[in-house]
């Protein structure tokens, strides 16, 4: 035990003292803050210019009510739309549209609406950027209102102020959870994605750090001197724990930074005002579960990476051999949208119980829609059980691998190593 602690101590001190540690500790939160600032800025940034829309109305009844409905204002007080009616009779329909297309391409117009004479046919919206959902939704709403008004009048219903009658405030989303209800403005998705990315990056980064650390003794041949006093198992455990201590130090610094930022709330709220994340509340149970799954995932993946490092004798070989550990991590991220859309589906449940995926996918399920407790408990139990198994196997590979130099072992050789006494 004393020897393990000595290894942990050396591992920790030499790593924490490196420039790389200092730089990554400072840089990562800076990138995070820059990212948050940028998101906040982009989210709060509104268009300042009106959308210039032309309307060709072949029916003759739609143009005016549509134009009346497009009365929304931009935050700077400008109207959101500047609408011009184009007489449909000024030439053949193709000529009119041709000239409008030319104006759109020349930049004098942002789009035009074509309303057919027969209102049972589709109405067309031509625009340069058909991805602008906000414009499309507003125009679509205005056209619908005009159409409804037109049909009501055709049935003899007299409506003086249709706009007020049809106006709605839209849906307000409220997330129901065990801890109560919370107004949903997209923060569930935001937190889920942030958690998944954080876990993925952390597991990958510290896993590879462990692999490198395990390789260090072999590439430098320090192992030869060490094995006379330390058992390979002690060294392996010391290295995994040492890197873990580094990881938690770094995390603690980052969390403290975030805590400080939240404390100086003015900064935070100024930064995120109007963005979906303002006033976001992260449930404490989610944080605790995330921590448990991070710890379990860290030990699972780092001992997996450690075994790879143990089997190889140089970094190049290890890089080629690291895919079996990296693949399940990448898979967890690739598959996460499946779990996000339907966290209670059978596929989600099964995937979130499998140890290599559970650190990311179970945390994701908990953040989206807390699953039954037995599922969480089973997932945690399986995760930590597999940690024990992987650590044991890694130690066996390491015990043989520490003294093997040269050719990278293939799978049958690795299996034989596991049997050696």
Partner 1 sequence: MDAITLEGVTKAYDSITAVDAISLRVRQGAVLGLLGPNGAGKTTTIRMVMNILMPDSGSIRVLDQPVGERTRDLIGYLPEERGLYPRMKVTDVIVFLAALHGLSQAEARKRAAVWLDRFELGAWGDKKLIDLSKGMQQKVQFICAVIHRPPLVILDEPFSGLDPVNATAVKDIMLELRDRGSTIILCTHRMEQVEQMCDSICLINHGRSVLDGELRAIKQSYGKNTIHIEFTGPEIFLCHPAVASVNRFGTGAEAKLKPGADPQAVLKAAVDAGAQISRFELLEPSLSDIFIERTANA
Distances (CA, A) of 124 to 56, 112, 157, 188: 10, 8, 27, 36
Tell me the number of residues near partner 1 by CB under 8 A: 20
As measured in angstroms, the least distance from the Cβ of 10 to partner 1 is 5
Q: Which is nearer to partner 1, 71 or 224 (CB)?
A: 224
Q: Is 228 in the site for partner 1 (CB under 8 A)?
A: yes
Cβ proximity of 309 and 210 under 8 Å: yes
Strand partners, 82: 52
C-alpha to C-alpha distance for 420 and 396, rounded to whole angstroms: 8
3 lines the binding site for partner 1 (CB under 8 A): yes
Nearer Cβ to partner 1, position 5 or 388?
Answer: 5
Give the distance, in angstroms, between the CA of residue 121 and the centroid of all CA atoms in the same chain. Answer: 41
111: helix, coil or strand?
A: strand
Least distance from partner 1 to the Cβ atom of residue 26, Å: 21
Q: Could you tell me which of 258, 354, 364 has the C-alpha nearest to residue 300?
A: 354
> Any contact of residue 261 with partner 1 (CB under 8 A)?
no
The answer to whether 22 contacts partner 1 (rule: CB under 8 A) is no
Residue 419 Cβ vs partner 1, minimum distance, rounded to whole Å = 11
Asked if 353 and 365 touch (Cβ cutoff 8 Å), the reply is no
Among 14, 138, 326, 375, binds partner 1 (CB under 8 A): 14
160 or 421: CB nearest partner 1: 421
The crossing angle, in degrees rounded to 10, of helices 187-219 and 323-334 is 180
Q: Does 58 help bind partner 1 (rule: CB under 8 A)?
A: no
Any idea what DSSP says for residue 269?
A: H
Q: Which is nearer to partner 1, 227 or 295 (CB)?
A: 227
- Give whichever of 189 and 404 is closer to partner 1, judged by the CB atom: 404
| Residue 221 binds partner 1, judged by CB under 8 A | yes
Q: Are 330 and 301 in contact (CB under 8 A)?
A: no
Give min distance, CB of 222 to partner 1, in A: 5
Chosen residue from 76, 120, 122, 421 binding partner 1 by CB under 8 A: 421
- Distance from C-alpha of 294 to C-alpha of 197, rounded to nearest angstrom: 12
Residue 354 C-beta: closest distance to partner 1, Å: 35
Check: CB of residue 88 under 8 Å from CB of residue 58.
Answer: yes
403 in contact with partner 1 (CB under 8 A): yes
Nearest to 403 by CA among 313, 321, 322: 313
Residue of 227, 253, 261, 333 interacting with partner 1 (CB under 8 A): 227
Report yes or no: 178 and 362 within 8 Å, Cβ to Cβ: no
Kindly state whether residue 245 participates in binding partner 1, applying the rule CB under 8 A: no
Contacts of 8 (CB under 8 A, 6+ apart): 238, 241, 242, 245
Mark residues 126-155: x for contact with partner 1 by CB under 8 A, - for none.
Answer: ------------------------------
Q: Which residues contact 127 (CB under 8 A, 6 or more apart)?
A: 104, 110, 111, 112, 135
Which one of the spans 93-101, 117-125, 190-198, 215-223 is the region binding partner 1 (CB under 8 A)? 215-223
Q: In this chain, which of 47, 231, 248, 369 binds partner 1, going by CB under 8 A?
A: 231
Q: Which of 49, 105, 179, 222 binds partner 1 (CB under 8 A)?
A: 222
For the chain, the C-alpha Rg in angstroms (whole number) is 31
Residue found under tokens 């540690």: 21
Phi, psi for residue 227 in degrees, rounded to 5: -65, -15
Report, in Å, the least distance between residue 4 CB and partner 1.
Answer: 10
SS3 of 9, please? helix
Structure tokens at 208: 């590879």
How many Å apart are CA 123 and CA 144, to the nearest integer? 10
Using CB under 8 A, which of 162, 230, 243, 364 touches partner 1?
A: 230
Min. distance of Cβ 403 from partner 1 in angstroms?
A: 7
| 229 versus 337: smaller Cβ distance to partner 1 | 229
Find the part of the chain contacting partner 1 (CB under 8 A) among 61-69, 120-128, 224-232, 371-379.
Answer: 224-232
Contact of 349 with 371, CB cutoff 8 Å: yes
Q: Any idea which residue has 């690291």 for tokens?
A: 322
Among 24, 46, 49, 220, binds partner 1 (CB under 8 A): 220
Is residue 185 involved in binding partner 1 (CB under 8 A)?
no
Segment interacting with partner 1 (CB under 8 A) among 160-168, 207-215, 216-224, 384-392: 216-224
* Footprint of partner 1 (CB under 8 A): 3, 6-7, 10, 14, 216, 220-222, 224-231, 403, 416, 421
């Amino acid at each position: 035990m004393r020897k393990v602690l000595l290894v942990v101590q050396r591992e920790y001190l030499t790593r924490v003292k490196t420039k790389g540690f200092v730089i990554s500790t400072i840089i990562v939160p800076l990138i995070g803050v820059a990212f948050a600032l940028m998101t906040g800025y982009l989210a709060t940034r509104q268009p300042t210019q009106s959308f210039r829309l032309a309307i060709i109305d072949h029916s003759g009844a739609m143009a005016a009510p549509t134009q009346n409905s497009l009365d929304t204002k931009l935050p700077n007080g400008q109207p959101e739309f500047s609408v011009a009616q184009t007489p449909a009779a000024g030439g053949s329909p193709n000529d009119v549209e041709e000239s409008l297309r030319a104006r759109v391409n020349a930049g004098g117009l942002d789009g035009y609406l074509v309303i057919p004479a027969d209102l049972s046919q589709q109405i067309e919206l031509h625009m340069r950027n058909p991805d602008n959902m906000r414009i499309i939704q507003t125009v679509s709403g205005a056209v619908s209102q005009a159409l409804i008004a037109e049909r009501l009048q055709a049935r003899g219903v007299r409506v003086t102020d249709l706009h007020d009658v049809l106006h709605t405030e839209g849906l307000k989303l409220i997330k129901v959870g065990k801890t109560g209800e919370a107004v949903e403005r997209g923060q569930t998705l935001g937190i889920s994605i942030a958690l998944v990315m954080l876990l993925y990056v952390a597991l990958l980064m510290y896993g590879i750090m462990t692999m490198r650390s395990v390789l260090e003794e072999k590439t430098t041949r320090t192992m030869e001197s060490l094995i006379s006093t330390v058992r390979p198992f002690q060294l392996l455990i010391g290295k995994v724990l040492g890197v873990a201590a580094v990881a938690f130090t770094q995390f603690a610094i980052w969390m403290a930074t975030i805590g400080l930022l939240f404390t100086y709330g003015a900064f935070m709220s100024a930064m995120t005002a109007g963005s979906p994340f303002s006033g976001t509340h992260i449930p404490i149970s989610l944080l605790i579960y995330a921590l448990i799954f991070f710890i379990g995932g860290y030990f699972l993946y780092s001992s997996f990476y450690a075994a790879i490092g143990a089997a190889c004798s140089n970094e190049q070989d290890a890089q080629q051999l690291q895919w079996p550990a990296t693949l399940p991590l990448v898979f967890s991220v690739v598959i996460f949208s499946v779990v996000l859309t339907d966290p209670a589906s059978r596929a989600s449940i099964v995937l979130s119980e499998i140890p290599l995926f559970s650190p990311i996918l179970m945390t994701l399920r908990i953040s989206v829609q807390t699953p039954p407790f037995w599922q969480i408990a089973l997932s945690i139990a399986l995760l930590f059980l597999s940690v024990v198994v992987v650590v044991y196997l890694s130690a066996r590979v390491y015990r043989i691998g520490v003294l093997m130099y040269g050719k990278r072992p293939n799978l049958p050789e690795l299996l034989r190593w596991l049997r050696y006494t």
